Structure 1
């Protein structure tokens, strides 16, 4: 794949990650830099679109309309609206209730499942790499997420890049744990609380950090709580 075709495909889908794109990233440093720039721009645009809407905005618009433009609400419409509101609230309740340690919340389940799938998918690509990543490189990849590390990363880092993560994006890092290689994803998707998981022969944890989450995935038997604490000690808001 030539550089022009690579840029065309990344512009049309910044989170694409097929075999041809991965090969083009590995063979051409300019391609990797271009993808990082596009993902960073995508993150800035997404952040800019997150505008809080006042709770009473609908009332303000309604009350500022001329009387002739205001639609009178009938009893039937009120009843249907009430029923829809109840159904909507019930749907939120089912999805958001915290069931403690019985089950993993839907958001966290989605994060851990996505992380496990990505690790399985990209293991063959990253398992033989050793980029000996530096602190400066880590901080460059952390910049779109508004975090920086204040000192040397406490583990040897084999691989570092940005990647598509479900409907979002993430920093993707592979480093040496105490028992084997551990993959770290830092994504802008929030999670409500720290939660461990053990699935498909892999284990790890999802941990909130501000409005973001970092996910650790690797072999069973790793002390992910300890690894998470060691990383959080050096991870600071930019």
Structure 2
């Protein structure tokens, strides 16, 4: 199990007792530290949700109407404190957790925005990797999407995995383009037509593929139309 998959599963259920997760934590100091941090944060959030209620609160509300305003003020302050605690805990979560497993809903963003969000969030983790991925490995990851490579992938592949993508899943690949590294997402989400994009320092292409789509993201100046055409030629329905 790679580190990214470990983090995703821990974020989904920090208290999981899956032997595979426990072994991954034992084998890696980084995994063990990440699990410890997430469990500590989970405990903070649980503690923030606990609000002390005065023992005589019900009596004061029912029988001491003149004091009702005082009670409401105190209760209101407690509610604000609770909200602040939760906001603080959430802020810690945003700052400490790798959000590769958190995705943007298609109702809020286009396929290109979702893809760029993934690339931006996971760049630091994936950039140093070179898994030298083979055709057989790519075809194994393509199986859930009912596509296979008809011939060898024409670019050197550094990284390959599955990931969450909006309301669907995707095959996530990083390979060498002509200008630099290019990220490909093949997802079950459909797109109406082929379109290029250029935003926030990224460029790319959204390409329909039957009932699915693939999205390319990379450096400005990359010939994504050419890359997309080369990939489409070798992707065959299985």
TM over 0.5, yes or no? yes
The bucket for the TM-score relative to the shorter chain is 0.5 to 0.7
**Corresponding residue for 1:130?**
130
Q: Which deviations, in whole Å up to 9, do the C-alpha atoms of 1:1-49 show, x marking residues without a partner?
A: 9xxxx69947957xxxxxxx9xx59x78xxxxxxxxxxxxxxxxxxxxx
C-alpha offsets along residues 85-112 of structure 1, whole Å, 9 cap, x if unaligned? Answer: xxxxxxxxxxxxxxxxxxxxx8795100
Indicate how the Cα distance of structure 1 residues 168 and 8 shifts in structure 2: closer, same or farther if over 3 A, else same.
Answer: closer
Match of 1:208 in 2: 208
Distance 1:158 1:213 in 2: 21
- Deviation digits for residues 179-225 of structure 1, max 9, x if unmatched? 00000000000000001100010000100000000000000000000
Q: Return the TM-score normalized by structure 2.
A: 0.57
CA distance in 1, matches of 2:141, 2:12: 22
Q: What SS does the corresponding residue of 2:220 show, helix, strand or coil?
A: coil
Contact 1:108 1:206 in 2 (8 A): no
The aligned residue for residue 161 of structure 2 is 161
TM-score (structure 1 length as normaliser): 0.57
Q: CA RMSD in A?
A: 2.9
Write the distance in 2 (CA, Å) between the matches of 1:109 and 1:12. Answer: 23
Partner residue of 2:116? 116
- C-alpha distance in 2 between matches for 1:109 and 1:232: 25
Structure 2 unaligned residues grouped into runs of 5+: 14-20, 29-105
SS at match of 2:225: helix
Q: Return 5+ residue gaps in structure 1 as ranges.
A: 14-20, 29-105
Change (3 A) 1:133 1:192: same
Higher relative contact order (CA 8 A, sep 6+): 1
- Report if the CA contact (8 A) 1:108-1:191 is conserved: no
Higher Cα radius of gyration? 2
In structure 1, C-alpha distance between the alignment counterparts of 2:7 and 2:226, rounded to whole Å: 40
Matches of 1:109 and 1:163, distance apart in 2: 17
